Amino acid sequence: MNPKAMNLSSAWLRLRLALRRVNPLVVAVMAALLGGALAAGALLGARDRLGEEYAQARRQARAPAPVAPPPAPPSSDQNLSAFYAVLGERRGAERQLKEVFAIAAKHGLSLQQGEYRSSYDRVAKLYTYQVNLPVKGSYGAIWQFAFDTLRALPHVSLDDVSFRRDSIGDANVEARLRMTFYLAAAPGVPQAGPAGASQ
């Protein structure tokens, strides 16, 4: 018999004898411990990977959000077009005044006959219509009338407001509102204006 084969055969026999001498319960415990150690190693690796993913997510959350570049500011031509687009129409001035009177009536105010002055601004190429309106009513109603007028007619400015009360106990006040209507000859189109128009 080959000596190599004999060595293998004797080693196998010694292993079998050793396994017979070992308690099966000890073998089961050793196998369980070996399996537990392998599972713990796998869990530790997974925990490390999960911890790294959490750390990366926290770094991303702390990083500032990408900021979109601000929109380009409008050009001077765009600003000028927007300005002229807001102007009222000159030929509709009477209708716009009627609207002011209707807003006043809605707030229980009666407007007295006012003073009106029209002019043309050659530089801005627009008409202005300045109106001084005396009005009497409650303080709150007068302010609400002014705000509603500005909302309804965005091309109107409130230039001045003055109040006067005859006595402290009087619920109504007298007010004078000065408004300016900014008007174009045609919508969105600046005109050269009339020859000899006042500035």
pTM for this structure?
Answer: 0.57
pLDDT in the model for residue 199? 40
**What pLDDT was estimated at residue 187?**
63
Percent helix, strand and coil across the chain, each to the nearest 5: 50, 25, 25
Rounded to 10 degrees, what is the CA torsion of 143, 121, 81, 189? 110
Which stretch of DSSP H or E encloses residue 25? helix 24-62
What pLDDT is attached to residue 159? 93
Q: What are the distances in angstroms from CA 99 to CA 96, 152, 187?
A: 5, 9, 19
**Around Cβ 181, how many Cβ atoms within 10 Å?**
23
User: What string of pLDDT tens digits covers the 199 residues of the chain?
Assistant: 566 666 777 777 777 777 667 666 766 777 788 788 888 778 778 778 888 888 888 888 788 877 888 888 888 888 878 888 888 888 888 899 899 999 999 999 888 777 889 899 888 888 999 999 999 888 899 999 999 999 999 999 999 999 888 877 777 888 999 999 999 877 655 555 554 444 4
